[in-house]
A and B are shown apart, each in its own frame.
Chain A
Amino acid sequence: MTPCAVTTGFFTLGKCGQMAVAGCPACGRAVCADHLADGGLCPECAAARNRFGHPSAAAAARRRVYRQRQAQYYGDTVYYSSFDDYDRAAFEPGAAADQDYLDDGDDALVDS
């Protein structure tokens, strides 16, 4: 039996492990009947189907659109659009405090 390789669980993650009925045509992993999504894809590939391109390029485009949209929404140009290059320079990867001290990633902003 080939076990289903889709990751499941809310806090404790594991592999599904049920009998696979198909292989995802995009990533090749084995998928059981419960996890088979539209087009015979695994859930992750199905969710990512409409997203492609270089991630950073996509982020840049999203940022631009988002800033414009948010600024319009709030009726002013404060918030994200107000962060200029000077503000952003302090948050480049090399500008972090002693990297070894950082948490699981420098995205760990608010750690309770």
Chain B
Amino acid sequence: MHRAAYLAFDRFPSAKGSAVHIRHMAAELFDRYGGGLLCVLGGGELPAYQREGAVEIVRFTDVVPNLLDRAGAFSRWAADRLAPHRDTLEICHVRDPWGALPALSTGARLVYEANGLPSIELPYHWPLAAPSTLAKIRELEEHCLQEADAVVVPSRVILKAVADRGAEPDRVHLVPNGADPVPADVPRPPTAPGRYVIYVGALQPWQGVDVLLRAFARLADLTDLTLVVCSSVSPARARPLRRLAERLGVRIRWEHQLPHADVAAWLAHAELSVAPLTAGPRNLDQGCSPIKVWESMAAGTAVVASDLPVIREVLGDHGRLVPPDRPAELARAIRVLLEYPDACRDLGERARRHVEDGFTWKHARARLAGVYDRVEAH
């Protein structure tokens, strides 16, 4: 019988930033409550059931083509998984409304970790979703956020978004993402090109990788410089961007779905790391706390990123900000930083110290523990 459960409508583990996040947040929960139940999405080679010490991992593997139906089926499935633990469950930690609904029905305390809001993110993937449908999803979010005993958000932008959805301000807690410092002597990846600029992450349109490719096309005169894209998605998913890169004649090296441990070495040996997020509703209204930026800082690599409120929160003065969606501006910033390697190194070092002083995963877990303390005290 478990005292704690963590539910996520996400595949876990995976190469994405969300999986890194789940790993640390769930670890804090399970350490505190002596194990627990982890309900996540399965698929691929992932086993449907695992027991790791006191932690039980169950994965939703049903094939339900329609996304809304799948979300509903996940909720129902999760409710069944939680049912045997109803009497002992003290706390449920969720990341989305699909996990929050079954968690609410158990009567346990609910910690809702709002990293994203489906009513804002869904239209990117599902452009045919009608405003009335999104309004219903928003209503669902509002219900879950208002019922939660605590809401955890990774940035101030998303804090405002959840407050707009009726979450009580004194129940909303800021727990920024983090990154673990990369050892200074991490070996250079054997296949790394001479000098390279790196992008790490997924390839959704809001990431702005197309802007980066266009910027890089303007750096064609730097013949010793390569762009490395460490994509968290498969080569098939990267096809349109690969075609764009070919058309622009960019010197590029694609690395797909590298294990998380390998990405640190790629980051540490890069000249620069770029986070070219676009100025769309996903980044401006919903907000995020990009793990790629945190991890670049932890690796001591200077970051060039879009000048957005979410990025200012993370990067502050420890990186170079450029106007979003402007390839020429981005290219200029990269060129200038490459011209001044000492300033670039200094920027990276300051960023690394900033992370070490307050934004490692250990710090994030301590902040989360503080939230659990408050939830338990009420």
Q: Which residues of A contact B (CB under 8 A)?
A: 6-13, 43-44, 46-48, 55-56, 58-59, 62-63, 65-67, 69-70, 73-74, 78-80, 82-83, 86-93, 95-98, 100-112
Shortest beta-carbon contacts, A-B, top 3: A110-B116, A66-B76, A47-B49
CB within 8 Å of A: which of B67-83?
Answer: 67-73, 75-77, 79-80
Residues of B within 8 A of A63 (CB): 69, 72-73, 76
Measured CB to CB, the nearest residue on chain B to A6 is B47
Q: How many A-B residue pairs have CB under 8 A?
A: 204
A79 to nearest B CB, angstroms?
Answer: 6
Residues of A within 8 A of B234 (CB): 104
Instruction: Assess whether A91 is in contact with B62, with CB atoms less than 8 Å apart.
Output: no
Instruction: Assess whether B52 is in contact with A112, with CB atoms less than 8 Å apart.
Output: no
Residues of B within 8 A of A11 (CB): 13, 19, 23, 260
Report which residue of A10, A12, A44, A46 has the largest number of chain B beta carbons within 10 angstroms of its beta carbon: A10
Residues of B within 8 A of A46 (CB): 49
Task: Check A91/B204 contact, CB under 8 A, given A109-B9, A112-B154.
Answer: no
**With an 8 A cutoff between CB atoms, is B214 at the interface?**
no
**With an 8 A cutoff between CB atoms, is B140 at the interface?**
yes
**With an 8 A cutoff between CB atoms, is B124 at the interface?**
yes
> Which of A43, A66, A78 sits near B72, CB closer than 8 Å?
A66
Instruction: Assess whether B129 is in contact with A90, with CB atoms less than 8 Å apart.
Output: yes
A44-B48, A80-B101, A93-B65 known; 5 new pairs, CB 8 Å cut-off, are A10-B55, A62-B80, A63-B72, A103-B203, A104-B15
**With an 8 A cutoff between CB atoms, is B332 at the interface?**
no
Q: Is the interface of B mostly helix, strand, loop or mixed?
A: mixed
A112 to nearest B CB, angstroms?
Answer: 4
Instruction: Assess whether B50 is in contact with A107, with CB atoms less than 8 Å apart.
Output: no
> Which of B23, B233, B261 sits near A104, CB closer than 8 Å?
B233
**With an 8 A cutoff between CB atoms, is B193 at the interface?**
no
Instruction: Assess whether A112 is in contact with B203, with CB atoms less than 8 Å apart.
Output: no
Task: Check A56/B64 contact, CB under 8 A, given A101-B237, A102-B237.
Answer: yes
Residues of A within 8 A of B47 (CB): 6-7, 43-44
Residues of B within 8 A of A70 (CB): 75, 101, 105
Residues of B within 8 A of A79 (CB): 101, 139-140, 143
Instruction: Assess whether A91 is in contact with B124, with CB atoms less than 8 Å apart.
Output: no
> Which of B72, B139, B240 sits near A98, CB closer than 8 Å?
B240
CA distance A9 to B12 in the complex (A): 11
Task: Check A90/B49 contact, CB under 8 A, given A58-B62, A104-B234.
Answer: no
A19 to nearest B CB, angstroms?
Answer: 19
> Which of B57, B69, B125 sits near A106, CB closer than 8 Å?
B125
B357 to nearest A CB, angstroms?
Answer: 22
**With an 8 A cutoff between CB atoms, is B121 at the interface?**
yes
Instruction: Assess whether A7 is in contact with B77, with CB atoms less than 8 Å apart.
Output: no
**With an 8 A cutoff between CB atoms, is B309 at the interface?**
no
Task: Check A111/B68 contact, CB under 8 A, given A44-B49, A70-B105, A87-B133.
Answer: no
Instruction: Assess whether B16 is in contact with A104, with CB atoms less than 8 Å apart.
Output: yes
CA distance A75 to B128 in the complex (A): 31
